[in-house]
Amino acid sequence: MTAVVYAARTLIVLVVLGIGLRLLGKREASQLTIYDLAMIMALSNAVQNALTGGRGDLSIGLASAGTIVVVTWVFARIIRRRPDLERRLVGVPTLLVYDGRPLRHRMRRELVTDDDLEAALRERSLSDARQARLVVLEVDGSITVVPRSEGD
Amino acid sequence: MNLLERIFDYPSATGALIVAGKTAAIYVFLIVGLRLLGKRELGQMSLHDVVLIVVLGNAVQNAMLGGDNTLGGGLVAAGVLLLLNRVVNVVLARSRRVERFLSGEPVLIVHDGHVLRGAMSREGVTIEQLHAALREHGIASVGEVHMCVLEVDGTMSVVPRQASVLKTRRHYRGLRLP
């Protein structure tokens, strides 16, 4: 019975965290700052007692940890089966620069700063957004750059 | 106590407010503390820094919750952290000044073939490290460089005069002074 209680609590916390991070978190994991990391660490500790009820019993720990593993596995399966759901759950790549023109409203929506964009361009040895054909914020949070080819 | 009550337990309204207030205070404290530490990007972090952050998370756990073991209490604390982090990220994206203060700025090291010695020594980058970064980008001499920038994450990007696309990533951590 205890195991069921804590498995259910773990499930609820996971769902709430998943929705919360999707709505409020930022996607550019590669641009994760030390502040974001501190938030994630504090977050995991903040929900710890909610998961286990502040008790250190082995059975509770196993029920809670087991639920996390199963939920992650189920989530991965759902995404593989239903690519349409993946768009909603994981997001789609976002175009940040098209044909040398930065798309400011999208950058703002995805919380990509000018500094982030410029750093990504320099990483690909470009000095200016005008030299880029496409700059895309991928779902994994990295920023990819497709330069203009000669004669473009 | 029936099953549902055991699953969906929650603190009183005052208890929830106290958890929210404590969590907000801890978050602000963490940001100020980490800013004082000087490092701002994960790329600059060593194993010690990661350990520090994990331990920090554990150290503040009871301060946030104050022994509140309910499901509701944990979710309130998590929600406050997510919201505040969002606020910080939005402010960073909107205001260049705040971003520069919290994240630092990229520093130009080489401009059109000229080495900016003042910037280099301020950032603690040696000429050997600069040459190593250029070689990594397949460039033999400073004269071929349009610009070389020390990024806020501690890596160096090189833009050659004839734009070719070559990129290797390497961290020059510990070089930037807080």
pLDDT at B155: 78
Q: Write b or e for each residue in A118-141: b if 16 or more Cβ atoms lie within 10 A of its Cβ, otherwise e.
A: bbbbbbbbbbebebbeebbbbeeb
Residue B79: how many other CB atoms lie within 10 Å: 18
CA distance B30 to A133: 40
pLDDT at A122: 87
- B148, B157 in Cβ contact below 8 A? yes
Per-residue pLDDT band at B83 (split at 50, 70, 90)? very high
The gap from C-alpha A41 to its chain's centroid, in whole angstroms, comes to 15
Residue A31, CA distances (Å) to A34, B80, B107, B110 in order: 10, 22, 17, 24
Average pLDDT for runs of 10 along chain A of length 152: 86 89 68 77 86 82 91 88 79 88 88 85 85 87 81 50
Per-residue tokens: A72: 């992650």
Fold assignment, B105-160: CRO Repressor (3.30.240)
- B147, A127 in Cβ contact below 8 A? yes
pLDDT at B168: 45
* Angle subtended at Cα A93 by Cα A96 and Cα B151, rounded to the nearest 5 degrees: 50
- The distance between the two most distant Cα atoms of chain A, rounded to a whole number of Å, is 70
Q: Which letter does DSSP use for residue B42 in this model?
A: G
Cα atoms in the 13 Å half-sphere on the side-chain side of B39:
22
What pLDDT, in 10s, does the model give residues B40-70?
Answer: 555 556 677 778 888 888 888 888 888 888 8
pLDDT at B1: 62
Task: Indicate which of B19, B40, B49, B61 best probes the interface with A, i.e. most A CBs within 10 Å of its own CB.
Answer: B61
pLDDT at B178: 39
Per-residue tokens: B140: 């033999």
- B20, B80 in Cβ contact below 8 A? yes
CA distance A88 to A79: 10
The amino acid that residue B172 corresponds to is Y
pLDDT at B101: 77
* Contact check, Cβ <8 Å, A16/B75: yes
Chain A residues touching B39 at Cβ < 8 A: 34
Give the phi and the psi of residue B66 in degrees, each rounded to 5: 55, 40
Per-residue pLDDT band at B123 (split at 50, 70, 90)? confident
Per-residue pLDDT band at B173 (split at 50, 70, 90)? very low
Per-residue tokens: B2: 């029936």
Average pLDDT rounded to a whole number, residues B100-120: 85
pLDDT at B174: 42
pTM value is: 0.71
CA distance B83 to B86: 5
Per-residue pLDDT band at B176 (split at 50, 70, 90)? very low
- B22, B76 in Cβ contact below 8 A? no
Which of B59, B58, B60, B52 lies closest to B34, judged by CA?
B52
Give the phi and the psi of residue B41 in degrees, each rounded to 5: -125, 150
Name the segment(s) of chain B with CATH classification 3.30.240.20.
Answer: 105-160
Chain B residues touching A112 at Cβ < 8 A: 93
Using CB atoms within 10 Å of the CB of residue B159, give its burial: 0 to 12 exposed, 13 to 18 middle, 19+ buried: buried
Whether B172 shows a pLDDT value over 70: the answer reads no
pLDDT at B166: 46
pLDDT at B67: 80
Among A19-28, A108-117, B122-131, B161-170, whose mean pLDDT is lowest?
B161-170
ipTM: 0.73
B77 touches chain A (CB under 8 A): yes
Tell me which residue in B73, B84, B163 faces A50 most closely, judged by beta carbons. B73
Radius of gyration of chain B (CA): 23
pLDDT at B160: 86
CA distance A87 to B44: 32
Sign of CA dihedral B58, B63, B67, B70: negative
**For A127, nearest residue in chain B (alpha carbons):** B159
What pLDDT, in 10s, does the model give residues B5-47?
Answer: 888 888 888 888 999 999 999 999 888 887 776 555 555 566 7
What pLDDT, in 10s, does the model give residues A80-93?
Answer: 888 888 777 777 88
Strand partners, A146: A134
pLDDT at A135: 92
A103 touches chain B (CB under 8 A): no
CA distance B92 to B76: 24
